[in-house]
Amino acid sequence: MSAPVMVAVAGAGAWGRNHLRVLHGLGALAGAVEVCQASRDQVRRDYPGLPVWGSLGEAFRHDGPVDGVVIATPAPTHAGLAAQALREGRGVLVEKPMTLEAREAEGLVDQAEAGGRVLMVGHLLLYQPAVRELKRLIDSGI
């Protein structure tokens, strides 16, 4: 049996905590990256023994495996963090918006394709019944 894919979560705010919880439950949580000391302390209380780093670079220098990164930080940081993770050869799931500028998003797609890495955008709401109904109404011309 192969080892599980281990994922670091960048950002321990409201949405990042959801990713932490789910990945922890799957046994796939490599650690958390958080710049805010109070949030780092909270993650340490919630997940004793889990590595908690102050930067993505620290996570990549960690002895344990970090195969991928979830980016759940403020939107202005998405492009830079995703680019850093892709440069380091990691797969990336970035929360919406992927970037603030289309050219940045295109650059990330090019970078992921060139490196043979996965780059995904979180579109959880796409599957909610209300959003699906809105799309149906728009598509029907109403």
- Comparing 81-95, 97-111, 122-136, the range with the smallest average pLDDT is 122-136
Paired with 58 in beta bridges are none
Does the predicted TM-score (pTM) go above 0.85? yes
In this predicted model, what pLDDT tens digit does every residue of 3-48 receive, in sequence order? Answer: 789 999 999 999 999 999 999 999 999 999 999 999 999 999 999 9
Between CA 123 and CA 29 the distance in angstroms is 21
Task: Say yes or no to pLDDT of 70 above 90.
Answer: yes
Q: In the chain, what are the domains? A: 7-140 (3.40.50.720)
How remote is the C-alpha of 38 from its chain's centroid?
20
